[in-house]
Structure 1
Amino acid sequence: MARRVFLHVGAPKTGSTFVQDVLWKNHPRLRRAGILLPGTRSAHDDAMTDLREVSWRDPGATWTWDRMAGEAAGWPGDVIISNEALGGATAAQAERAVSSLEPAEVHILVAGRDLWRTFPSMWQQSIRERRVWRFGTFLHDVEHGRFEAFWELHTANRMLRRWGDLVPPARRHLLTVPGPAAPRDLLWHRFAGVMGIPDGLCELAAPTSNPSLGAAEIEVLRRVNQALGDRYPHRTPYQRVVQHHLVDAVLKQAGNEMRIGVGLDRAGWVGELAERQIAELREYPCHVVGALAELRPAGVRQATTPDELDDGQVLRAAIDTIVGMLGHAESLRRRADQGDDAILSRIRRRAARAVWRRGGEMR
């Protein structure tokens, strides 16, 4: 039976990709130290979609939540389950998850990030998951209570109420995301400290990142999504085609010099939301790693929104994207040709050996 299980349930866009990169990069080391990550990275995603019973679960997925819990139960040490979308579970689903891991000592980890950075990151992620709404529409819907899912899926307050209430206060952990000027490894050290991972056990060298797209590039993707209509329905088909061949291969490689952000006209509103969030969390009994003050907007300055771009700027980005796609297609063709040459070479070598053996037998 597992001794302790650490459930890292979110929120999205709080450095979870970086933390998970470090965990999986050091998977063998952690296991030797008595800390298990059950299954594979994709297994954690499969288990999340199963627990939440989402409509976009991959029909080919083999991992379920019960299978994940069963693997955890068979480990004699500590277990880490990490998926930033777990925080979107309903209260009943969260209760099922925690109950399935008991009698192990279950800990809940939630990360919180300031809303000034969260709003543009979350909107951009929604576009990279096939949405087509404009940034201004997204902010308007959040501001006027028409997108309640934002608070449920992206704020520590709501997640702690659904997940944290299921365990004693000492096992509820809120990790605040450091400001942009902080050392990158500070976030990792905060997670590692909660999960009991010794200093120096894990290598942090060059984890992969999940970079943001620039204003023009994300607007190109938004318009591509509009044009695609019902093709590549969310989630797996879209990721295999659009995410892989357009976003990862081309758009992420662009200069992305024009960063998006919330306009200064909404700075007061965002600041008020942050103070309310901090006040609520100050009253909530949990272990805070970092400082609640880090949830206040930092580095507030005027930023570009994709809604402000003119058609000429979008056209230039679209042309650059087409050029990038041509280069990507050419690299795929060369790779295919090299693969064909390698296959033909192997066939020729085998045929030559067969002829040589046949000649030896005839002699």
Structure 2
Amino acid sequence: MARRVYLHIGAPKTGSTYVQNVLWRNRDRLAEAGILLPGSAVAHDQAMADLRAAPWRDAEVYWTWDRLAARAREWSGDVVVSNEGLGAADGTQAARAVASLAPAEVHVVVVGRDLWRTFPSFWQQSIRARSGWRFEEFLHAVEEGRCEVFWENHTALRMLRRWGDLVPARQRHLVTVPAPGAPPEVLWHRFAGIVGIPDGLCELTAPAANPSLGAAEIELLRRVNRKLGDRYPLRTPYRRVVHRHLVDAVLKRRANKLRFGIGSERVGWVADLAEQQIEELRGYPCRIAGDLDDLRPRRLTPGDSPDTVADGHLLDIAVETIVELLGHAEALSERAERPAEDTLTRLRNRAAGGVRRRLRAIRRDGA
């Protein structure tokens, strides 16, 4: 049975992709050191969706939460399960997850980030998940207390109260995202220290490119989402079509010169919320890797709202996007015409390779 299980549950946009990439690229080294990553990154995502009974989950996938938990229990050492969507599980679902890993010692790992960076990230992620609300609409909802989903699913304290309260205080961990400009290795070392991964065991890689969209690009995607109506309502079809052909193929590749963010009129509001968050976390019994001061915004540089992008500028971006989409479609068409030729070439090369090996064997035996 597993000795310890570390549940890295989020929050989203806190460097989780970087940490997960290091973990999975060093999976064999970690296993040799007694630390298992069960299944695959896709398995963790499928198990998360199953645990949460998410309406967008795929019903026929192989990996359920129970299957992943069973694989974890079979291991004799330590186990890491990492998916930033786990933090959005409700109390009943979190309790089920922790109980399913018994009798292992379960540790809950939550990563927190300052609110100045978190607010725009949350809204952008919601648009990239098919939402259609405006940025100002989102901020007003937070100000008026009408956006509990933000606090529940994207802030450390709420996640710790739902998940951390299920385990002893010494098994609750808060990792703080370093201030802007810090090397990514700082975040990794904070996480690795919790799990007990020795320095030098894992080969660190540069963070995977996951660029934020610019103000015009994200506003264009928001309007596309509104026009989609009831098409691609679930997560997988939306990713397969909209993400693959519009977001990943075109919008992410643009220069995105017009950045967006919170306006100057809300600097004091965000600063006050940050201080409140720090005080509440200071009173919560858990182990902290990093410093609560990291949750105090350092660079309060106001930005423009995507809501203010001029229609004329947005039209230019839309036309450029259509042109780039045509190039993407042409590349896909050319790729679709190549498989038959590529297969024939591989067969010829394989046959030629077999002939060469036989000739070498004949010469060797003759010698």
Q: Which residue of 2 aligns with 1:36?
A: 36
In the alignment, the residues of structure 2 paired with residue 100 and residue 166 of structure 1 have an alpha-carbon distance, to the nearest angstrom, of 12
> Is the Cα–Cα contact under 8 Å of residues 175 and 288 in structure 2 kept in the other structure?
yes
Partner of 2:95: 95
Alignment of 1:241-320 (within 5 A): 241-320=241-320
Q: Distance in 1 between matches of 2:330 and 2:276?
A: 52
Q: Which residue in 1 is equivalent to 2:362? A: none
Q: How far 1:347 sits from its partner (Å)?
A: 8.2
Indicate the SS of the match to 1:66.
Answer: helix
Distance between the aligned counterparts of 1:142 and 1:131, measured in 2?
16
Q: Separation in 1 of the partners of 2:196 and 2:281?
A: 24
Kept in 1, the 8 Å contact 2:7–2:108? The answer is yes
2:49 is matched with 49
Which range moved further: 10-19 or 199-208?
Answer: 199-208
- The reply to whether residue 109 of structure 1 matches residue 101 of structure 2 is no
Number of the residue aligned with 1:149: 149
C-alpha deviation, 1:264, in angstroms: 1.1
Q: Distance in 1 between matches of 2:209 and 2:43?
A: 20
Are residues 130 and 276 of structure 1, via their aligned partners in 2, closer, same or farther at CA, if it must alter by over 3 Å? Answer: same
Alignment partner, residue 64 of structure 2: 64
> Where do 4+ consecutive residues of structure 1 move more than 2 Å?
340-350
Q: 2:346 and 2:20 mapped to 1: Cα distance?
A: 39
Tell me the TM-score normalised to structure 2 length. 0.93
| Letter aligned with residue 140 of structure 2 | H
2:359 is matched with none
Q: Contact between 1:17 and 1:209, CA under 8 Å: does it hold in 2?
A: no
Please tell me whether the aligned partners of residues 35 and 78 of structure 1 are also in contact (alpha carbons under 8 angstroms): yes
Report matched runs for 1:6-45 at 5 Å.
6-45=6-45
- The aligned residue for residue 358 of structure 1 is none
Shift of 1:259: 1.6
Shift of 1:348: 8.9
Report the TM-score when normalising by structure 1. Answer: 0.94
Shift of residue 281, structure 1, vs aligned partner = 0.5
Would you say 1:223 and 2:217 are equivalent positions?
no
Worse overlay, 120-129 or 329-338: 329-338
Report the Cα distance in structure 1 between the residues aligned to 2:349 and 2:283, rounded to whole angstroms: 73
Contact 2:213 2:252 (8 Å CA) reproduced: yes
Indicate the RMSD between aligned Cα atoms, in angstroms: 1.7
Tell me the CA shift for residue 207 of structure 1. 4.0
Contact 1:3/1:76, CA 8 A, preserved across alignment: yes
* Aligned counterpart, 1:188: 188
How far does residue 245 in structure 1 lie from its aligned partner after superposition?
1.1
Alignment deviations for residues 274-313 of structure 1 (CA, whole Å, 9 cap, x no partner): 1111111001111011111111112111212101110011
- The one-letter code matched in structure 2 to 1:144 is E
* Counterpart code for 2:243: Q
Counterpart-to-counterpart distance in 1, 2:348 and 2:203: 44
- Identical positions, percent: 64
Quick check: 1:129–1:234 contact (8 Å CA) kept in 2? no
Aligned residues between the structures: 352
Query: Partners in 2 of 1:46 and 1:348 — Cα distance?
Result: 40
Report the secondary structure of 1:116's partner residue: helix
Question: Is the Cα–Cα contact under 8 Å of residues 10 and 85 in structure 1 kept in the other structure?
Answer: yes
In the alignment, which residue of structure 1 is the partner of 2:363? none
Amino acid at match of 1:251: L
Structure 1 Cα separation of the partners of residues 142 and 56 of structure 2: 24
CA–CA distance in structure 2, aligned partners of residues 328 and 206 of structure 1: 27
In the alignment, which residue of structure 2 is the partner of 1:198? Answer: 198
Matches of 1:129 and 1:23, distance apart in 2? 25
1:108 aligned counterpart, secondary structure: strand
Q: Answer whether contact 2:110 2:156 (CA < 8 A) is retained.
A: yes
Aligned position for 1:354: none
SS in 1 for 2:175: strand
Q: Secondary structure at the match of 2:56?
A: coil
Amino acid at match of 2:18: F
Alpha-carbon distance between aligned partners in 2 of 1:258 and 1:58, rounded to the nearest angstrom: 36
SS at match of 1:173: strand
Cα pair distance change 1:38/1:346, threshold 3 Å: closer
Q: Is the CA contact 2:123–2:135 (under 8 Å) kept in the aligned structure 1? A: yes
Equivalent residues of 1:278, 1:292 under 8 A apart: yes
> Structure 2 matches for 1:164-183, cutoff 5 A?
164-183=164-183
**2:347 and 2:165 mapped to 1: Cα distance?**
63
1:16-57 CA-to-partner distances (Å, cap 9, x unmatched) read: 111111111111111111110111101101111111111111
Name structure 1 gaps, 5 residues minimum: 351-363
Rounded Cα–Cα distance in structure 1 between residues aligned with 2:348 and 2:327: 31
Partners of 2:348 and 2:71 in 1: CA distance:
47
User: Aligned in 2, Cα 1:327/1:172: closer, same or farther, shift over 3 Å?
Assistant: same
Distance in 2 (CA, whole Å) between partners of 1:103 and 1:305 is: 50
Q: Which residue of 1 aligns with 2:365?
A: none
